[in-house]
Structure 1
Amino acid sequence: MSIQLSDQTVSAEAVLKSRNHQSLMTIETPITAENIDQIRPTPETISEAKRLFEAEGFVVVSSGITLTVHGTRAQFAKLLGGDWEKGSPMIPKHMEQLVERIVFPEKKPIYFP
């Protein structure tokens, strides 16, 4: 995976573990209002995962089914190890019960005024 950024700030999505153990990454049916609770994490999972990322110095800009996390390349390297940019990074032990996967967008989002 190649991350194309012009500065040292990196954005990631932390996919949280759901209350029903259904994975957002592998659900085979379209997500609707009727079935979203199958993949929704508990409020406690969201709160604790947010707290752990913030304790590592990251900025959590939104939270829900996933957390949008901003940090520097150095912060991600410290948290995920030196090869974090080369595929699916390993989840740190202290986050394994809360975070299913951390994914990085291919490109920075484009914002329109």
Structure 2
Amino acid sequence: MKAVFISVLFCTLLVAIPSLLFNFGDWVLIALQTGVAAFLGLLIGIEIERETYRYPHLWQGIAGLMAGALFGFCLTPSLVFVVCGGLLGGVLGMTAHWWVKFAPLP
């Protein structure tokens, strides 16, 4: 759990501070950028401590589902966007062990 917390914190701060400096006032954009960074940090942290979790695919899928639903709600607060975002996030979370090592961080 320690690596997950550090990974989420590091990725979030790595994106949130420049976003606040360059996009100050556009709060939806800042929230989306910071949320994406936190989601990537969570997936990276679970991937680092993969042997700690009994079902890492499930945890990554749940994290993706929640992040996708949140992003869909931030874009447009309608049921269609929340469900589509949740499904897309869940698929990204379940397949994270294949693509997370190629995710570029700033």
TM over 0.5: no
TM-score of the pair, normalised by structure 2: 0.30
Higher helix share: 2
Q: Say which structure is richer in strand.
A: 1
Query: Which structure carries more relative contact order (alpha carbon 8 Å, separation 6+)?
Result: 1
